[in-house]
Amino acid sequence: MTSASPSRLPQRHGRGGGGLALLTILVQTIGTMLAARGQEAQLNLLGYALLIGGGMLVSARHSSPRLTALAVGGVTVAYHVLDYPRGPTFMAAIVTAVALIRAGRHKLLGLTAIACMIAWIVLAEATFAQGLTLAAWVFGLAVVLEVVLGVGRLAAGAMREQRRAQQEKQRRQASEERLRIAQELHDVLGHHLSLINVRAGVGRHLMDRQPEQARAALDTIKDASAEALREVQSVLNALYPTGQNAPRAPQPGLDRLDQLTVDAGLPVHTIVTGQPRALPAEIDRAGYRIVQEALTNVRRHAGLGATATITLDYTPPEAMLVQVRDDGGGQGPIIEPAAEGNGISGMRERATTLGGSLIAEPMPGGGWQVSAMLPTTAVESS
């Protein structure tokens, strides 16, 4: 990395060096020619050579800053010592001073300026008042340049900080999107694979004694695997840019709850209280995924013959309750609850991200309950 940086700097500084030198030559020569009208002093061949030479030296201000500063200072002093016409003759000196300030070479600039002032005062036999006037002009110009460049540095720093904040925001949004997609895939695959596992066990058990029931289990496996593929494809389509490979099926919501309970692999009863109302897409999808994951946990952890009850309560004015309870399949009260896994933490994260809350806990009489309170208004992203 350190070896690559120096090679880039000359290229960056070199851009526009010749163009700025040409502009300096034009400003100094043409501007002084126009300003010389009405002045007693007139330009000759040497005067033009000094103006043009000072402008040409500007092109080396980055590659040889010391020599450039001394040469430009010397040419400028020589021009004024020879008493040529006044005009924009300090253009080369100003450009060189700006380059030195931007490069942080304040000491070199100060020493060069002092040396040039002393040389002019001595060679031109200037009076004390003239020397003081020149010193005031040089000091004032240095202050103005420092202020202007300082403001420019502050503006550039603010722009860099803004770009950095924007990039950080984009990285954070991309990370959040990846986590959301990972959670979606976890819920989809966990639900359907656990259902396939349950039905495969039932089919294998009944294959010889009740072939019709085994065939029904295979049909359920077929439907569950096809649905899993459709949902996985719908989730993965979010990875593509907008307008490319748009999802062919809508994201699942609570309107598909009946289909979810039919394919749950265990008896499920649904209770709806209050007046159902339209929900924001992210709330609708979160409710569906919470029910899906809760039923998956019932299949995984409850005893044989477990039943589940889903409750959707729209009674709260600005929220809704999504609750899934199971009877534990006759296991009885759970004295020491199992450690919380990824399923419960994922459900809780879904709820809290949307401004809601989720509680997952064992019930005194046996079984487990998951209760999520979700807002029914869209959450504004920062």
- Cα–Cα dist 68/54, whole Å: 9
Question: Which of 359, 349, 353, 292 has the alpha carbon at shortest distance from 321?
Answer: 359
Q: What is the dihedral of CA 233, 239, 244, 245, to 10 degrees?
A: 0
Where do we find the tokens 């949004």?
A: 173
Where do we find the tokens 């966990």?
A: 190
- Cα–Cα dist 135/126, whole Å: 12
Question: Which of 30, 112, 106 has the alpha carbon at shortest distance from 71?
Answer: 112
**CA angle (252, 319, 186) in 5-degree steps:** 35
Please state the domain extents for the chain: 4-126, 252-382
Retrieve residue 34's tokens: 């126009």
Please say whether the dihedral angle defined by the alpha carbons of residues 127, 129, 131 and 133, taken in this order, is positive or negative: negative
Per DSSP, the residues of 139-181 read HHHHHHHHHHHHHHHHHHHHHHHHHHHHHHHHHHHHHHHHHHH
Q: Are 290 and 256 in contact (CB under 8 A)?
A: no
- pLDDT at site 310: 93
Phi/psi of residue 81, nearest 5 degrees: -65, -35
- Cα–Cα dist 247/234, whole Å: 5
Retrieve residue 132's tokens: 């003081």
Per DSSP, the residues of 326-381 read E-TTS----SSPPPP-HHHHHHHHHHHHTT-EEEEEE-TTSSEEEEEEEESSPPPP
Residue 381 carries which side chain, given as an amino acid letter? S
Three-state secondary structure call for residue 271: strand
Give, as one character, the DSSP assignment of residue 264.
S
- pLDDT at site 372: 93
Q: What is the pLDDT along the chain (382 residues), one digit of tens a residue?
A: 444 444 444 444 444 567 888 888 888 788 888 888 877 888 888 988 888 888 888 888 888 888 888 888 888 888 878 888 887 878 888 888 887 777 777 777 777 777 777 776 766 565 667 666 766 666 666 667 667 767 777 787 888 888 888 888 877 877 777 777 777 777 777 666 766 766 677 667 767 677 777 677 677 776 777 677 677 766 666 665 544 454 455 678 888 888 888 777 788 999 999 888 889 888 998 898 899 888 888 887 776 778 899 999 998 888 999 999 998 876 655 545 555 566 788 888 888 988 899 999 988 888 889 999 999 886 554 4
Q: How many CB atoms lie within 10 A of CB 347?
A: 26
- pLDDT at site 14: 45
- pLDDT at site 175: 74
Residue 58 carries which side chain, given as an amino acid letter? V
Retrieve residue 126's tokens: 């200037």
- pLDDT at site 293: 86
Q: Are 95 and 24 in contact (CB under 8 A)?
A: yes
- Cα–Cα dist 357/371, whole Å: 8
Helices within the chain (DSSP H only)? 4-14, 17-35, 45-57, 65-81, 91-102, 106-123, 128-206, 211-236, 257-262, 281-301, 342-353
- pLDDT at site 321: 94
- Cα–Cα dist 321/358, whole Å: 10
- pLDDT at site 309: 92
Q: What is the dihedral of CA 309, 312, 315, 321, to 10 degrees?
A: 90
Indicate the fold that domain 252-382 takes in CATH. Answer: Heat Shock Protein 90 (3.30.565)
- pLDDT at site 136: 66
Give, as one character, the DSSP assignment of residue 316.
S
Q: Is 367 left (phi over 0), alpha (psi -120 to 50) or beta?
A: left
Three-state secondary structure call for residue 14: helix
